[in-house]
């Protein structure tokens, strides 16, 4: 049976990807870790793992039914997880819409046999992998806002010695109601 390595995620606009790449280059020396390719910068909502085509199709049908409002993501926090060697960018206060969307997708994934981490959801964008334990984080003088209008199902594709993330499907979030 054919499988794909899949995950639900928020894709970042190209302009934000480029801004983050420049900021990362300005803030972290080359020896700090392995940079994630600009095109691979994303925020994982629910990791699915190796999924059969049948399960992937069912999860896509369920994702299409989600009527979650759009939200704004404020990227204003950074950290280093020494054990996995990851430097990340995230938000000090995750928007309720992001948490709800992740909870919905993680619950659907679990019901369809995709094991979910017992760790609480920590929304983040991985900037560096294989980061040294001595990596110094930049001072807290950064902030990016990103209006999130859709979410996606991404496939992890390993080709020619590189991993790339390719969109399998995308779904719009409904317009936020005026308050």
For residue 42, indicate whether it is catalytic.
yes
Residue 119 lies in a domain: yes
Token pair recorded at residue 162:
């590189």
pLDDT digits (tens, 9 = 90+) for 129-170: 999 877 888 877 788 999 999 999 999 998 888 889 999 999
Count of structural domains within the chain? 1
Residue 108 lies in a domain: yes
What is the domain range of residue 161? 3-172
Half-sphere exposure at residue 14, Cβ-oriented, CA atoms within 13 angstroms: 0
Residue 145 lies in a domain: yes
From the candidates 42, 80, 122, 130, give the one annotated as an active-site residue.
42
User: Sign of the CA dihedral 93, 98, 104, 105?
Assistant: negative
For residue 124, indicate whether it is catalytic.
yes
From the candidates 80, 112, 122, 124, give the one annotated as an active-site residue.
124
Residue 158 lies in a domain: yes
Angle, helix 96-111 to helix 53-64, in steps of 10 degrees: 140
CATH number at residue 137: 3.90.1140.10
Distance CA 108, CA 136 (A): 38
Q: In this predicted structure, what is the pLDDT of residue 118? A: 87
**pLDDT of 177 higher than 60:** no
pLDDT digits (tens, 9 = 90+) for 71-87: 999 999 999 999 899 99
């Amino acid at each position: 049976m054919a499988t794909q390595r899949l995950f639900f995620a928020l894709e970042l606009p190209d302009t934000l990807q480029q801004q983050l790449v420049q900021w990362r280059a300005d803030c972290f020396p080359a020896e700090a870790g392995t940079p994630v390719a600009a095109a691979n910068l994303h925020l994982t909502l629910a990791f699915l793992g190796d999924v059969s085509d049948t399960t992937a199709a069912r999860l896509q049908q369920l994702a299409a039914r989600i009527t979650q409002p759009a939200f704004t993501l404020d990227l204003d926090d950074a950290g280093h997880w020494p054990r996995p060697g990851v430097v990340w960018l995230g938000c000090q206060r995750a928007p309720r819409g992001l948490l709800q969307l992740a909870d919905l997708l993680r619950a659907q994934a679990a019901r369809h046999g995709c094991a979910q981490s017992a760790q609480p959801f920590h929304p983040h964008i991985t900037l560096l992998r294989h980061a040294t334990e001595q990596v110094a984080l930049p001072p807290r003088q950064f902030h990016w806002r990103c209006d999130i209008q859709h979410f996606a199902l991404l496939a992890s594709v390993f080709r020619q010695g590189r991993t790339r993330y390719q969109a399998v499907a995308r779904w719009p979030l409904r317009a936020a109601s005026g308050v």
